[in-house]
Amino acid sequence: MRKRLLSTAIAAAAVGALVTPAVAQADPAHPHPGGTSVLGHGSRAGTAVVSGHNEPGTRLRVDGARTRSAHTLPVDYQVQETGYWCGPAATRIALSARIAPPSQGDLAAQLGTTEAGTDHIGQVTRVLNADLGTGWYETKEMPDDPPTQAQKDLLWNDIVLDIDNNYPLVANIVAPPGNQPPGYPSDQTIYHYFTVIGYDDANRTVLIADPASFSGNQIYWLSFDQLASLVPPKGYAA
């Protein structure tokens, strides 16, 4: 079971349009052969680490990094294969930091994902623990919008604790017009899952592996405050 260093927990998206790659490209069938560096362009919010090819199933290897303030995990990234498989794809990315992950299709079956998507973050928590054979992951609800300071503090502490122990987080988000990560359809509210694979304490940013690849945005830095505003009223697995 997970040994807590913190207080007790407080109680589908379509693939976007292809854009010119800014940092790296990935072959749809094979991971990027040498991995992709995540800190080459810094870690300020909005900085793209990987953008470009985003056909369903596009796959690449993202390298991990460790500095005095930043820690990111190596993962096997893959664009979601259907418009409603963001949950399976985000779960697969998280698993890939520790094991050779199942396919998105296998994970969709494990999660009970339908054409309506993956209903609750608790399904992700269950599958992560089952596939890893661990009790590490817990479901954290963030029902308050905006979140309380205690909920934000817990989220940040969970990110640092999990990443430092080689466990990516999976977040269930709601992104309305006016508060969206880069590339999201600005006229729609997007209900989505993505994976948190790193943080930088100096810039107070988090590294997102986004399986939707909206407008080609695949791996990017997001401000922690924006992440905390996107999770309510849903939750995350950490």
Give the domain ranges of the chain: 48-237
Pair type for strands 65-66 and 235-237: unpaired
CA distance linking residue 132 with residue 2, whole number of Å: 13
Does residue 139 sit in helix, strand or coil?
Answer: strand
Residues facing 169 on adjacent strands? 196
Q: Which fold has domain 48-237?
A: Cathepsin B; Chain A (3.90.70)
Q: Please list the pLDDT of the chain residue by residue as tens digits (238 residues).
A: 443 333 323 233 332 222 222 233 333 333 333 466 677 777 888 787 766 656 787 778 888 999 999 999 999 999 999 999 999 999 999 999 999 999 999 999 999 999 999 999 999 999 999 999 999 999 999 999 999 999 999 999 999 999 999 999 999 999 999 999 999 999 999 999 999 999 999 999 999 999 999 988 999 999 999 999 999 999 999 9
Record the pTM: 0.85
Question: CB within 8 A of 72, min separation 6: which ones?
Answer: 38, 39, 62, 64, 65, 66, 163, 197, 198, 199, 207
Q: Is the peptide bond before 233 cis (omega within 30 degrees of 0)?
A: yes
